[in-house]
Amino acid sequence: MENNLKVKKRDTSLEPFDFDKLLASITKAGVPIKDAIEVARDIEGWVKVSSKNSIISSIELRDKIVEKLSENFPSQAESYRIYKKF
């Protein structure tokens, strides 16, 4: 099945939704890989139902990841929340 989901970046450019990139970002926040896979799958499912025309904004995506991580990994959620790409 082809993934046609797109992420709208802050500069308004679009890039394909990348499960591996999502998973890497969650593990970099300190979530163990087994748990990170579960969180990433939950987020991917949320993107599929919440996107408009298969597009989700990077801000909405980030907020949802922080919300999901906060349930079981509050310190990692905070790490994820405060990380900013330069």
Please report, in tens digits, the pLDDT of each residue of the chain (86 residues total): 346 999 999 999 999 999 999 999 999 999 999 999 999 999 999 999 999 999 999 999 999 999 999 999 999 999 998 886 54
Phi/psi at 69 (5° precision): -65, -35
DSSP the chain: -----EEE-TTS-EEE--HHHHHHHHHHTT--HHHHHHHHHHHHHHHHHH-BTTEEEHHHHHHHHHHHHHHH-HHHHHHHHH----
pLDDT of residue 83: 81
Residue 78 lies in a domain: yes
pLDDT of residue 84: 61
Residue 1 lies in a domain: no
Domains: count for the chain: 1
Q: CA–CA separation, 14 vs 10, rounded Å? A: 9
Specify whether the CB–CB gap between 18 and 9 falls below 8 A: no
The parent domain of residue 41 ranges over 6-82
Residue 43 lies in a domain: yes
Residue 63 lies in a domain: yes
Residue 52 lies in a domain: yes
